[in-house]
Amino acid sequence: MKAPVLLALGLAVGAATAAEPDQTINEDWPKSVDEAVQRLRNRLSPEDLEWIRRNPKDVVTSQLHLPYGTGVRNDFGLWGKNKPLLASCRTSHAEECSSIIFSAMWDKVRAETDPLLAENLDCHFSALTRTKIDTTGWYRMRLGEMLTDLQRQIDQQADTSNHSSCGALKIDVLGSPDLQCFVRVEYEDTGTLEHLFQWVSFRNAFSVTHDPPYANLTFTQECPWPEQPKHFAPQNRKEG
C-alpha cells in the first residue's frame, strides 16, 4: 500500500468560516444524503478515499467534523436554508446532518471495498477497540520509547487473545521522525487503542491508516517537540 498522507480534505469544498454564514437558497445544493455523498465522493482524491477506507467509521466521522465539516456545512447550505437535505438527514441541525453524510460516505466507500480486505479491516478494527493501552509515564518519554512501549502493550494482549484471525497487530512507522524527540501526552489513563490513536496522532504530527495487520503511523514532522513539553504534564500523575 502506498504510504498514507494527512488529509487535504478541507480543499475539496468551499472555504470554511468560523461563524454560520448568511446563506441564500442555492439550487445547486444537494437535495438528499445520497446526492451529497456522491458529490463529495467525486471530489475526493484516491489518497483521501484510502484514508476513509482504512479507518473505522467513528474515527472518520469525528475527524472530518472540523475543519472539513465546517466547509461542507457551509457549502451545502446546512445552516437552515437547505430544507430538502436537512429533511433527508431527518434533523434540523447542521452538524448532525453533516455527521450523517460522513457516515453514509464511509458506507459507500466500504461498499466499494474488496470483500476480503473489508473482512480483514473489520477484524483489525475490532482489535483496536479490544486492545487497552496505559499511557502512564508517557509524558516523560521520547518518541522511540513511546512506540516501543506501545508495541509491547499490544503484544502482551495479543498473546492472551483468542481473536488472532487477522494477524497480530503491528505498528509501522512511516516518514522520517526523530525517535529522540519528545512526545506530547498529557493524560495518564487506560483506554482503547482506537481512541489513543485519535488524540495522540493529532498532538504528535502523524496520521494513521490501517493495512492489516499493520497500523501505519505516517509522521509529517521530524520533531514537533524537541524539548519536553512540561506544561502538558498530567495533573493527576503519581509522584515517586
- What are 218's strand-pairing partners? 174, 207
Domain assignments of the chain as residue spans, ordered by start:
9-14+25-113, 119-232
How far is residue 16's CA from residue 110's CA, in Å, rounded to a whole number? 27
Global pTM value:
0.82
12 confidence band (pLDDT: 50, 70, 90): very low
Q: Does 177 sit behind a cis peptide bond, omega within 30 degrees of 0 on the bond before it?
A: no
pLDDT tens digits, residue range 71-95?
999 999 999 889 999 999 999 999 9
**Amino acid at residue number 56:** P
What is the crossing angle of helices 68-75 and 94-111, to 10°? 110
pLDDT tens digits, residue range 15-37?
344 445 556 778 889 999 999 99
C-alpha cell at 86: 436537512
Mean pLDDT of all residues belonging to the chain = 87
Q: Which CATH number applies to 119-232: 3.40.50.920, 3.30.200.20, 3.40.1410.10, 3.55.50.30?
A: 3.55.50.30
How far is residue 179's CA from residue 206's CA, in Å, rounded to a whole number? 13
pLDDT at 5: 38
**Amino acid at residue number 165:** S
Asked if 235 and 189 touch (Cβ cutoff 8 Å), the reply is no
pLDDT tens digits, residue range 171-195?
999 999 999 999 999 889 999 999 9
Q: For 191, phi and psi rounded to 5 degrees? A: -150, 180
